Amino acid sequence: MHVGHLLQLDSLRLALVWGDEGLLGHEISGVTATDLEDPTRFLQPGEIVLSGLVWWNQDDSRARTDRFVAALRSAGAAALLAGEETHGTVPADLVAACEAHRIPLLAVPSRTTFRAVTEAVYLRQWGDLSRRPTLHHALPENVRNDLSRVLERGPTPAELLDRAFAHLGTPPCHLLTSSGRTVARTASAPELTAHQAASSLHDTTGTTLRAGTGGTPYDAWHLYLPAPAETPPRVLHEIAEVMAQYRDHHDRRQRARRETADALVRLIDTPAPDTTAVDGALRTCGLPSRDTRYRVLVASTDDADGGATAADALTEALSHLPSAFAVGTGRGGEAIGVLEATADDGTSGRLAEIWPLLAACHPQGAVAPRVGVSAPVPHADGLRRALDQARYASAAAGSGAEGRTRVRGMEELSTVEALLAGVPADVKAVYTTTTLGPLLDSTSASHRVLLETLEVFLGLNCSWARTAETLNVHVNTVHYRIQRIEALTGRDLSRLDHKLDLRAALLCRRPPVSGEVQRAR
């Protein structure tokens, strides 16, 4: 069924507001009704979106409307069907946004229900399938009964997936999370890396279907069939519903695990943890309490709901790794994870590879959480020390340059710059002001020149000639400026400790004072 077919259904009385012939020829894969301002995580490519525009207000900026339509575009929506009941008409700025992002826009009159539109789409799709008598049109009764019995005894997701597709010859099928983690796959499905799996979810040659509405932006489940589907959509939808039932049970278990993890986190997030109680809490979380080394991870955001978001992100990220773990919420609202560590496990490096996949799942315009990873520590006795390390590393991960990875391990704090990155901003500000003093006077042109000269001079390992060449001045001018800097700061740049003091102060004030300084390095 194509978008244009909707306009031919007299019973719906839909009106075309904007859309050219090419866009109206897009095939419809399904229907999603939503009034979320950012529905990206609930959409699949090819779906039409039904919205009553409850989120829209005439006093809002046009940027809000543009973000909504841009989200539809990024998700690959086939069209937007806007209900007229709430506002009486389709807002003009919504029309403009749809035209700018090339999303067909249809108006749904108040007398037409969204349910009628949804039923019309699926009835048309199933009607098309009914003209192909060699295909199955729904799960057979014996298959549904078998899957119900399997669900009752608590199967693994792989077992359930194989049983669901057995009557179809067990075609290749993956059950994937939004971040590319393989939850299960049929016996005939090839193994996929996380990056391959995440890309597959946007592959138009295969078939992707959301398995239920549960989960977070990071771990929502999707059925993915790599080959063009010969299985009717109705059958796939029924299998997806079975997997959604399993997901409900899974989510209940996850909530119970989160509660036990919260108890563990509360115990180690104290000045002097009771190691006996911590041992018991580790066992309750399914983690060995003795003869085991652990890493602690801290994930946090600056958002108001950062604790829940960070915990969801950290849980999904650690689920990509083979080691046992528990994730709870700390006193400061950040997510705290305890991960079983092995020698040279490269945890921070592996998380850095996974983190962009999670960031891509994050709601549009939001910033992914930052993560700090401690060094390995011996069992319960070292968890408090590891928590302090992870908090410091998390702060360092959050203060890097734009585009830099937001995962930082303690092993990476091997330079003065990396070490200073975790120092609180107010502490760095006081140190910078105390050390650089008058050089920070931005109203003085001469002081700005001196500050630039200092940064270039230290960045070039105190080379007089290279500094003069970079700044395009005579070397005697450099000598004069350095003397002025020493007089104003009370430092002697022939001494290593004083050089380090000034270098640290410059590193604490980012960004650099000019583009020339950056190039000099």
Domain ranges of the chain: 3-130, 141-250, 269-421, 425-520
Instruction: Collapse the DSSP code of 8 into the 3-class scheme (helix H, G, I; strand E, B; otherwise coil) and give the result.
Output: coil
d(CA 255, CA 373): 24
Q: Which pLDDT does position 516 carry in this prediction? A: 37
Q: Which pLDDT does position 132 carry in this prediction? A: 44
The C-alpha R_g of the chain, in whole angstroms, comes to: 29
What's the order of all strands across the beta sheet hosting 30-33? Answer: 15-18, 105-108, 79-83, 47-51, 30-33
151: which 2 tokens? Answer: 């669900």
Superfamily of chain region 269-421: Reverse transcriptase/Diguanylate cyclase domain (3.30.70.270)
The residue type of 432 is: T
Q: Which pLDDT does position 363 carry in this prediction? A: 58
**Cβ(254)–Cβ(318) below 8 Å:** no
260: which 2 tokens? Answer: 């036990």
Sign of dihedral through CA atoms 135, 137, 142, 144?
positive
Domain 425-520 is found in CATH 1.10.10.2840: yes
Tell the residue number behind the tokens 């585009």, with chain if given.
Answer: 403
119: which 2 tokens? Answer: 């039923």
d(CA 451, CA 432): 12
Q: Where are the beta strands (DSSP E) in 78-156?
A: 79-83, 105-108
Q: Which helix (H) or strand (E) holds 300?
A: strand 293-300
The β-bridge relationship of strands 47-51 and 30-33 is: parallel
Q: Which pLDDT does position 465 carry in this prediction? A: 92
Q: Which pLDDT does position 405 carry in this prediction? A: 56
Q: Which of 10, 119, 19 is nearest to 77 (CA)?
A: 19
Instruction: Collapse the DSSP code of 178 into the 3-class scheme (helix H, G, I; strand E, B; otherwise coil) and give the result.
Output: coil
d(CA 365, CA 180): 21
Q: Which of 347, 20, 150 is nearest to 337 (CA)?
A: 347
Superfamily of chain region 3-130: HprK N-terminal domain-like (3.40.1390.20)
Give residue 196's Cα distance to chain centre. 17
> Which CATH code is given to the segment(s) 141-250?
3.30.450.40
Could you read off the pLDDT tens digit of each residue along the chain, which spans 521 residues? Answer: 789 989 988 889 999 999 988 899 888 888 888 888 888 877 888 899 999 898 888 887 788 899 999 999 998 999 999 999 888 999 999 999 999 999 999 999 988 988 888 878 877 665 544 444 444 446 788 888 888 888 888 899 999 999 999 988 888 999 999 999 999 999 999 999 999 999 988 877 788 888 876 678 888 899 999 876 566 777 888 898 889 889 888 888 888 899 999 999 999 998 888 888 998 999 999 988 677 889 999 998 766 445 568 899 899 999 999 999 999 998 888 999 999 987 667 888 899 899 888 888 865 545 678 899 998 988 778 899 999 999 888 888 865 443 345 888 887 777 777 777 777 778 888 888 889 988 988 888 899 999 999 999 998 999 999 999 999 999 999 999 999 999 999 999 999 989 998 998 888 886 444 443 343 33
Q: Which pLDDT does position 136 carry in this prediction? A: 42
The per-residue DSSP string of 439-493 comes to: GG-TT-HHHHHHHHHHHHHHHTTT-HHHHHHHHTS-HHHHHHHHHHHHHHH---T
* Residue range 365-377, pLDDT digits in tens: 456 788 999 989 8
> pTM above 0.75?
no
How many helices (DSSP H) and strands (DSSP E) are in the chain? 20, 15
The β-bridge relationship of strands 407-409 and 370-373 is: parallel
Tell the residue number behind the tokens 């090419």, with chain if given.
Answer: 22
